Amino acid sequence: MVDEIRSAVITIVREEGHVDGELALDADLYYEVGVESTRTISILVALEERFGITIDDSEFVKSRSVNSLADLVRRGRP
């Protein structure tokens, strides 16, 4: 299940964050992967819609890699 969540997070980050190249699971999305800050809300909203959860804003901004976003989603699921 965890891997399923991580795969979905990767798909969302790639699509909403416009990431074409390498996407290391622990890399900082904004200053290592190069996701534009203009894409932040799109990623957040897509995660909420995909998993049917509400993500706390302050937790979201601290979760800056694929792995930490996957952890965040896992904690938010019932």
Partner 1 sequence: MQNIQIVLPPGLPADVCTEIAKRACYCDTSIAGCRYLKEERTLKVGCNEGSDIAGLESKLQRLIAKMKSQRLAVQPRTLASRAGGAKAFAGDMFGALCRNGEVTKEGIGVVARRGEFFELLRALDRFFERLSRQHFLSSVADYSVLIPSEWLRRAGYFASFPHSLTFATHLCEDYDRLEAFAERHKGGRALKFEAIEELTTPEFCLSPAVCYHTYGVLMGHRLPDADQGLKACTAVGRCFRYESKNITDLERLWEFTMREIVFVGERERVLDARKRIMDLIWRFVELFDLKGEVATASDPFFATDFNSLRFFQLSNELKFELQLPVDEEKSIACASFNYHETFFGSRFDIKTASGEYAHTACAAFGLERFAYACLVQLGATRTWECLEQADREFFGTSAGG
Question: Which residue, 30 or 53, is less far from partner 1 as judged by CB?
Answer: 30
Question: Which residue, 2 or 41, is less far from partner 1 as judged by CB?
Answer: 41
- The answer to whether residue 25 forms part of the interface with partner 1 (CB under 8 A) is no
Question: What count of other Cβ atoms lies within 10 Å of the Cβ of residue 46?
Answer: 19
CB 17 within 8 A of CB 35: yes
Residue numbers 28-67 binding partner 1 by CB under 8 A: 30-31, 34, 36-42, 44-45, 57-58, 60-61
Question: Which residue, 34 or 77, is less far from partner 1 as judged by CB?
Answer: 34
- The full DSSP string for 36-72 is -GGGHHHHHHHHHHHHT----HHHHHH--SHHHHHHH
CA–CA separation, 50 vs 47, rounded Å?
5
User: Which parts of this chain interact with partner 1 (CB under 8 A)?
Assistant: 30-31, 34, 36-42, 44-45, 57-58, 60-61
